[in-house]
Structure formats: C-alpha cells, structure tokens
Amino acid sequence: MNQMAASDVPLSVMKATLEQDDIYVLDTPVIESEVSPFSQAADISMSNVTISYDAQTQRWTVTGGGSWNNNNWVNDLPSFFGEWVGTVKNVGSYDTVGFTFYNTSGTAPVMLRSSAYITDHSGRTLESTSPSHGDGKKGVAFDYQDNAKLIAVNPSTFTYLGRGFAASATYSSTFTNYHGYARSFYGHTWNTTGISSVSFGGTGSTYGVTINFSSTSNRFPAYSNADKTF
C-alpha cells in the first residue's frame, strides 16, 4: 500500500491489484474542498487516504502519502553540491509524512503496526516501522531525512530521495466501530529548518493535525484536498 501511495498509480488500478489478494478498499464518499489555501504546496500531489480491509486477517489498513509533481525540489538543494558523481547531500533537515483522523466518534482502535516508505522513483528507497509522532488513534507521522544524489554532470543531474512518500497503519477488526474523516499530510523543509513536532487533536489544528516547524521560513505543509470518510 505504501509503495502505491507514494507513486502515481490510479486508485482503480490499486483496487484491482489488492482484490487479487482478497484485500478490499473501503468505498466511502470523498468530500472535496472548494478552496485549498496551501498554494505554496502546489509542487506536491497528495493522494487521498485509502482504507483497505483484508478479509483473511480481518484487519484494516489506512494509508496516506503523495509525491512531487515536478522537479522544483532542485531549488532546495545545498548551494554547493560539488561535482563528484555519487555525492549524496541532505536537503534541509527532516521532512514528515502521515495521516490524520478528525471529527471522530466511537471507540478508537489500537494500532497494531505502522510503516513509512520513501522513494526517489529511481530505485533508492527508505523504510521505517518506528513512527515519530502519534499512537494511531488520531493519526500517525514519520519523520525522515530527504537527500539528493548527483548522478551526472554537465549538466548536473540528481535523484531525490523524498520524491514519493507514504505512511500506513494497520488496525484490528474493531476499526469498524470508529468513524470520522481522514486526510494525508506532508511537511517539507530546506536550508536550516526542521520539524519540531507533530501533534494530533489539538485546538487550532489543520484537519486535526499541527505540524510545528523550527522556523517560519524555508518550509511548507501540504494536505490532501479531500476528506476520506470512515
């Protein structure tokens, strides 16, 4: 699921692939927002949250993520990169990816496991099973260090480990007793800015989540533009 959420695979293809393994995507309405106020995140295509059910294990999996829709991440690279092919340098400090539940009702289920998947869409990947924020009841998020790799010179050509990103969590069958809205989110940083914290359910949050950055510059958040109901 994470690999699909971090790619450009259409939902219809995702559904057909999963159903071959007796896994079914929850088909509930997706509520579109009329206006997205986060124009600074226009370089990002966030996928709507998908919720799937495994009929064999009776477990539910929630997945959110997205990818860059252009190469504007190049603008965030360190000012001096060097000319040695194979050089890898960090892009700012950590980024974060996750999903959030809000306006919920019912009994919150226990999260059984969670994972994150980061890719450059060229073969380099990063995976984690240790979430940085959240216990799954209101959401979960993973911080990770994005980086660029020089693969050619004249002109300088890079791959970006952070081009695609996704987070997922698996819950027991009691997830059927939990209801609300879900969105995926992403926080990107560059220069000296980093992620200070990610909190869920507080006042003044955006879709139930607050991404706190270490600076007011050189960063932006992005959110999926529609609610997934469950």
The pLDDT value given to residue 5: 62
The runs of H, that is alpha helices, within 6-122 are: 11-19
The string over 103-126, giving b where at least 16 C-beta atoms fall within 10 Å of a residue's C-beta and e elsewhere, is: ebeeebbebeebbbbbbbbeebeb
Q: What is the pLDDT of residue 41?
A: 80
Instruction: Specify the pLDDT at position 30.
Output: 54
Q: How far apart are CA 30 and CA 188, in angstroms?
A: 25
Which residue(s) pair with 184 in the sheet? 99
Model's pTM, two decimal places?
A: 0.85
Looking at residue 23, its pLDDT comes to: 47
Running DSSP on this structure, what letter comes out for residue 17? H
Is residue 149 within 8 A of residue 123, CB to CB? The reply is no
* C-alpha dihedral, 144 to 148 to 149 to 152, nearest 10°: 160
Q: What is the pLDDT of residue 79?
A: 86
Distance separating alpha carbons of residues 165 and 141, to the nearest angstrom: 11
Q: pLDDT 10s per residue in the chain (230 long)?
A: 556 566 666 656 655 564 455 444 556 555 554 433 332 589 999 999 999 999 999 999 999 999 999 999 999 999 888 889 999 999 999 999 999 999 999 999 999 999 999 999 999 999 999 999 999 999 999 999 999 999 999 999 999 999 999 999 999 999 999 999 999 999 999 999 999 999 999 888 999 999 999 999 999 999 999 999 99
- CB-based contact 161:94 (threshold 8 Å): no
